[in-house]
Amino acid sequence: MHTDRSVCNKMDNTKEFIIDKAFELFLNHSYEAVSISEISKAIELTKGALYHHFRNKEELFMAVVDKYLIIEELDINTNNISLIQFIELCVVKAQDIVSKTVGSSRSFIPLNLLSFFIDAFRHYPDFSAKKNDLINSEINKTKKILDQAIVNGEIRSDINTSVTAEMFFTLNTGIAKNLIHGNMNQKLAIDKLREQLLEFYKLLKI
């Protein structure tokens, strides 16, 4: 006997299965190259069954992005953290993001991860606005930490904290480059990011 709850669970599981399979296709081939027919074939469901869960390819793609490109702000008190502590938190956050986005699979070509991000900006109308707001928030947060680090005597007082905050953000986004150079080895990519941030920190210290 099928209860309403069991039917809902089955539908939810099917929807998640579709999203996961579509992610592999979008990541390996790009948004434009993947057709509804190819998605239908990969999930072994008819187009009608697929459209029961998603109205079109764009809606499915947005669901994929929402699940796999989750990049949240660091939840920290900018008034009560040193710059060196902030750097370590950035590394931990980068590790979490990479783990959720790439997972344990090594079947993906590293450069495709960058293409997937670009596709998200091109084909997900709200993604760009949301991420731009996030970027500005993270840069402003970093600037406050840098300003406090100057007051506390942790770093030099002659630096431009606005520009330096942008440089910190750029270094953090370099995790994608590290993944490419490290052939998708997550540990090597994270270790390299930590090394880069600590080297930058040395330049700022008194």
CATH number, position 57: 1.10.10.60
Residue 37: which residues within 8 A CB-CB, separation 6 or more? 47
- pTM of the prediction? 0.72
Q: CA–CA separation, 46 vs 44, rounded Å?
A: 7
CA-nearest of 151, 9, 127 to 63 is 127
- For residue 45, give its domain range: 4-67
Domains identified in the chain, total number: 2
Shared domain for 33 and 87, answered yes or no, is no
C-beta of residue 146 within 8 angstroms of C-beta of residue 155: yes
* Structure tokens, 56: 């079109």
Tens of each residue's pLDDT in the chain, 206 residues: 445 444 344 456 899 999 999 999 998 888 999 999 999 999 999 999 999 999 999 999 999 999 888 766 777 888 889 999 999 999 998 888 777 766 645 455 667 777 888 899 899 988 888 788 888 999 999 999 999 999 999 999 999 999 999 999 998 887 777 776 656 678 888 898 999 999 999 999 97
Domain boundary among 67, 89, 112: 67
Q: CA–CA separation, 74 vs 195, rounded Å?
A: 20
CA-nearest of 197, 175, 201, 198 to 186 is 175
